[in-house]
Amino acid sequence: MPVTDKEVALSERIEAFLAELKRGGSGAGTLRGSGETARETTALLRRITGQAQWSSAGDLMEIIRKEGRRMMATQPSETTVGNMVRRVLKIIREEYARLRGSSEVTDQQESLHQLLTSGGLSEENFGQHFKDLRANVIEAINELLTELEATTDHIAMQALEHIHSNEVIMTIGRSRTVEAFLKDAALKRKFHVIVAECAPFCQGHEMATSLSEAGIETTVIADAAIFAVMSRVNKVIIGTQTVLANGGLRAVNGTHTLALAARHHSTPLIVCAPMFKLSPQFHNEEDTFHKFVSPHEVLPFTEGEILSKVNVYCPVFDYVPPELITLFISNIGGNAPSYTYRLMSELYHPEDHEL
Amino acid sequence: MADADETSKQAERNTNVGDGIAVKKQDIARAKNEGKELTKDEKQRLRKEKKQQKKNKKDDKGESEHENVPLPPSQAVVQCQSQKAPSVAPSLALTPVSVCTSEKPAKSKAEQRAERRARQEADRAAKGKKGESAQQPPSGKSKAPPNELQPVVKRLPEHVQVDDPAAVRKLAKKLERQQIPVRSEYGYKVSLFSHLHQYSRKAPLTQQISIPSTVIHPYIVRLGLQYSQGIVAGSNARSIALLHAFQKVIQDYKTPPNEELSRDLVNKLKPYISYLNQCRPLSASMGNAIKYVKKEISNIPCLCKEEEAKKQLLSCIDNYIKEKITLAATTISAYAIEKISNGDVILVYGCSSLVNHILCDAFDKKRKFSVIVVDSRPRLEGREALRRLVKKGICCTYVLISAVSYILPEVSKVFLGAHALLANGYVMSRVGTSQIALVAKAYNVPVLVCCETYKFCERVQTDSFVSNELDDPDDLMVTRKGKIHLENWQDIRQLGLLNLVYDVTPPDFVDLVITDLGMIPCTSVPVVLRVKNVDQ
């Protein structure tokens, strides 16, 4: 296929995005939070849909899958990229099915009976060409973008249902979603927040300054004091990096300890996570779950004499099993962790779980 | 000089002191003249008179301060705190009641009711001038037999009553009497902890006293500064430093005339202890050590010469350190080595001198194991433990406490040190210990606590709030990427920093406690305490 200017421009955009992803992992680039990553990814996918050369839905899906794999390989820990790719693939499937005329309901309801009798739905090859497919898909992606922009507000709107006055709420590290959640509740109610600082990055400090400037009584504690103060805490509200397919979390390190302490004191653990963080991956013991950063955050180079004889670890994430979580609050409402599998089937197609 | 003494004594005497006592005073004066030491009776009489004069002076002022009631010298003099005492009442009527409060350990409801009745009657007596009848029921009570169980003086320590203005005033008065400056609080205190002190490390107490200090021994001044700046930290180190300082004090001590060493030395130590308490609240081990020293001092027979007495005290303190700390560490290490097998991965938290000693011993005995050192901000004491272990040659890993759930699946045992073991089986230790025990329990890893018996404490506590220590809140600040986020925390009214020092671990998280008396479960601590008390 002849390389057009448009294609060159498109591939430049993709390369720029990948570079941002690689740099943005440490929070230094413009892609600061997962919300922004999700929006940028979706915008890029819309651009690909609009500008790339494709004739049928199958071609488009192939292109998006290829780009998606590249993006996920750049920054494996940033799962929102993969999630958005899967959402767009599902959108394409839906639009194609609508244009073909078959009801969406039967496609979605992949019941066991259908799977056994029809021999699997993968016979569909998406080869037919539809004129309106491009426009429809772009419109649907625009709707997705609107949804993404409003997630934090939708979650924050539910704050008053969960926080009563004179409560002591505990949180860890820094989560923009939780920040918005608490600030929204603080407009009407008075409560106290305890922030665990989450060493070694100490993002809890930023969170505490931001909350206290909004007029919320805040206290900063060291990570070591989480269990000690937990007996006075009424609720634990945390954010997360990813929600796994079984309802567990991949959250900032220290969250598992927090969850265990909450379970010991029978304190409810509430996770504020927008839907784009839901990922079809499972927790496994392999290398892909954990991410490590430079150990000089933990043991600085000034301790030079012993550095060569000591192993130092600085993991970034923690796995929290679903039994420790009480409630998920997302932009579509509150759910129990056991409902996660159902939400996943609404968002992603099972064929897309492995890109 | 004898004449001057006599005249001064006569000037102080009240009108109701009869001639008989005057004669005895002349005897005493004569005995002093002849260079002989006063006999025990004479000293006792002198003391009683001084106290009587003090009491009469206070009567004139009409204050309601509690007094040292003239008791036989064998009973320890206890300063009573009665928080519910009515504000204005004749001190005479109240003092028998306060004696009862000090003597009565486990107050039953009937006794409390009787006490209240007595206080009400005392009030009525103040109004109706029936002082005599008020004294009858309390004095009757004081003769009641004590409980069969060992009586323990339950008195709320001052350092957990910062939110009570009466207690704060009382402490200020006491410190003023002892000529020790009061340390000022620093920073906004979190409301849950308003009953505790919070000081800044940048404002040590020594800035407010003159150097050289006339009231406090220079060794004690230095010790206090070392405590408040964190140079001497860790309960064993603090206790040993304290006992060495006491040895120096005893060496430099000279009995003033007309005084007994056994009583005066104890009184000399009181301002030192208050000063050290102001610099940094005393630990449980230090409290036990002080109790021991005071007991030894008051058990000195009064016929003993000063030099002999001092030598005896110094050797007592040496024995205490040797027995309770050094030899105990060796015993505990011998027990603990049975629990360390080849191929073990042992997790330790912070810097406990005892645990480090055990690990070094085990390494010397050729056990093959590796160690994971867990550390926490802001104290970062684990680095010191790491240095010691690496110097010995032990293979180590180092993580922060937030990574504990990542590293625990690899761990086979957890060894923890303790600051004190409470009578209800809870372990009081550095903040973060309970968290490690919690996560270890979730992963089914055995938790062993190592603690000498001299750290066992008769207090009970269920959470980390009621009695704790607040460290300098500025320690939580950290520079990241050239910026300190919490730099102006004092300006933001709603922001508070909490830097706890201790926390309590429930006994169900601890599998075994290794002490010099053997390996016991956490719940056997009161048994050990009882056995110790019976021995003494």
Q: What is the 3-state secondary structure (H, E, C) of B337-391?
A: HCCCCCCEEEEEECCCHHHHHHHHHHHHCCCCEEEEEEECCCCCCHHHHHHHHHH
Cα–Cα distances (Å) from B311 to B253, B299, B318, in that order, read 12, 14, 11
A269 and A259 Cβ atoms separated by less than 8 Å: yes
In whole angstroms, give the CA distance from residue A235 to residue A168.
Answer: 7
* C-beta atoms of B464 and A229 within 8 A: yes
Q: Does B465 touch chain A (CB under 8 A)?
A: yes
Q: Does A314 touch chain B (CB under 8 A)?
A: yes
pLDDT at B89: 40
Q: Does A282 touch chain B (CB under 8 A)?
A: no
CA distance B335 to chain A (A): 28
Q: Which of A146, A163, A188 is nearest to A276 (CA)?
A: A146
* C-beta atoms of B438 and A227 within 8 A: yes
Residues A149-168: pLDDT tens digits? 999 999 999 999 999 999 99
> Given 3-state DSSP classes, what are the helix, strand and coil percentages for chain B, each rounded to the nearest 5?
50, 10, 35
* C-beta atoms of B401 and A198 within 8 A: no
Strands (E), B89-176: none
Task: Please report the sign of the dihedral spanned by the C-alpha atoms of residue B199, residue B200, residue B206, residue B210.
Answer: negative
Residue A74 has pLDDT above 90, yes or no: no
Q: Does A290 touch chain B (CB under 8 A)?
A: yes
pLDDT at A29: 47
A10-14, B20-24, B78-82, B491-495, range with the lowest pLDDT = B78-82
Name the pLDDT band for B100 (thresholds 50, 70, 90).
very low
* C-beta atoms of B503 and A299 within 8 A: no
Tell me the three state secondary structure of residue B191: helix
B263-272, B353-362, B391-400, B443-452, range with the lowest pLDDT = B263-272
Tell me the three state secondary structure of residue B513: strand
Residues B354-399: pLDDT tens digits? 999 999 999 999 999 999 999 998 889 999 999 999 999 999 999 9
In this predicted model, which residue has the larger pLDDT, A4 or A138? A138
Q: Which of A73, A74, A88 is nearest to A39 (CA)?
A: A88
Averaged pLDDT, B292-306: 87
A206, A261, A312: residue with CB nearest B485: A206
Name the one residue in this structure whose structure tokens are 């590290």: A173
B400 to chain A: closest CA residue: A298
Percentage of the residues of chain A whose pLDDT score is greater than 70: 89
* C-beta atoms of B497 and A217 within 8 A: no
B390, B396, B499: residue with CB nearest A222: B499
Averaged pLDDT, B278-283: 88
Q: Which residues are bridge partners to A58 per DSSP?
A: none
Residue B315 has pLDDT above 90, yes or no: yes
In whole angstroms, give the CA distance from residue B253 to residue B36.
Answer: 20
Name the pLDDT band for B32 (thresholds 50, 70, 90).
low
Name the pLDDT band for B74 (thresholds 50, 70, 90).
very low
In whole angstroms, give the CA distance from residue B329 to residue B325.
Answer: 6
Q: Which of B445, B223, B438 is nearest to A264 (CA)?
A: B438
Mutate to test the interface with A, among B401, B402, B504 (most CBs of A within 10 A): B402
Residues 426-445 of B with CB under 8 A from A: 430-432, 434-435, 438-439, 442
Mutate to test the interface with B, among A201, A209, A227, A292 (most CBs of B within 10 A): A227
Q: Which residues are bridge partners to A310 per DSSP?
A: B396
Strands (E), chain A: 168-172, 192-196, 217-221, 235-238, 242-243, 249-252, 269-272, 310-312, 317-320, 327-330, 333-335
In whole angstroms, give the CA distance from residue A25 to residue A292.
Answer: 12
Name the one residue in this structure whose structure tokens are 């830097």: B499
* C-beta atoms of B464 and A298 within 8 A: no
A298-312, B34-48, B228-242, B266-280, range with the lowest pLDDT = B34-48
Name the pLDDT band for B66 (thresholds 50, 70, 90).
very low
Averaged pLDDT, A233-241: 95
In this predicted model, which residue has the larger pLDDT, B502 or A76? B502
Q: Does A234 touch chain B (CB under 8 A)?
A: no
- A-chain CB neighbours of B430 within 8 Å are 224
Name the pLDDT band for B67 (thresholds 50, 70, 90).
very low
* C-beta atoms of A313 and B399 within 8 A: yes
In whole angstroms, give the CA distance from residue A238 to residue A219.
Answer: 16
- A-chain CB neighbours of B401 within 8 Å are 199, 223-224, 254, 257
Name the pLDDT band for A192 (thresholds 50, 70, 90).
very high
B428 and B465 Cβ atoms separated by less than 8 Å: no
- B-chain CB neighbours of A200 within 8 Å are 377, 400
pLDDT at A108: 52
Residues A281-304: pLDDT tens digits? 888 756 678 888 888 888 888 877
pLDDT at B216: 84
Q: What's phi and psi for A24, nearest 5 deg? A: -70, -10
pLDDT at B141: 42
* C-beta atoms of B438 and A223 within 8 A: no
Q: Is the pTM of this model over 0.90?
A: no
Residue B515 has pLDDT above 50, yes or no: yes
Record the tokens describing residue A124, joined without a space. Answer: 């569909």
Task: Please report the sign of the dihedral spanned by the C-alpha atoms of residue A99, residue A101, residue A103, residue A108.
Answer: negative
β-pairing, A249-252 with A242-243? Answer: antiparallel
A312 to chain B: closest CA residue: B398
pLDDT at A118: 55
B428 to chain A: closest CA residue: A228
Percentage of the residues of chain B whose pLDDT score is greater than 70: 77
In whole angstroms, give the CA distance from residue A135 to residue A59.
Answer: 16
- Which DSSP category does A352 fall into? G
pLDDT at B144: 41
pLDDT at A267: 96
Q: Does A210 touch chain B (CB under 8 A)?
A: no
B11-25, B187-201, B252-266, B517-531, range with the lowest pLDDT = B11-25
B82-86, B340-344, B391-395, range with the lowest pLDDT = B82-86
pLDDT at B68: 42
Residue A51 has pLDDT above 90, yes or no: no
- Which DSSP category does B456 fall into? B
B439 and B401 Cβ atoms separated by less than 8 Å: no
- B-chain CB neighbours of A310 within 8 Å are 386, 390, 396-398
Which ranges of B13-64 would DSSP assign to H, the alpha helix?
19-33, 40-61
CA distance B404 to chain A (A): 8
Averaged pLDDT, B448-456: 93
Residues 6+ apart with CB under 8 A from B267: none
> Packing angle between helix B306-320 and helix B261-279, nearest 10 degrees?
40
* C-beta atoms of B434 and A225 within 8 A: no
Q: Does A30 touch chain B (CB under 8 A)?
A: no
Q: How far is C-alpha B420 from the chain's CA centre?
A: 12
CA distance B362 to chain A (A): 19
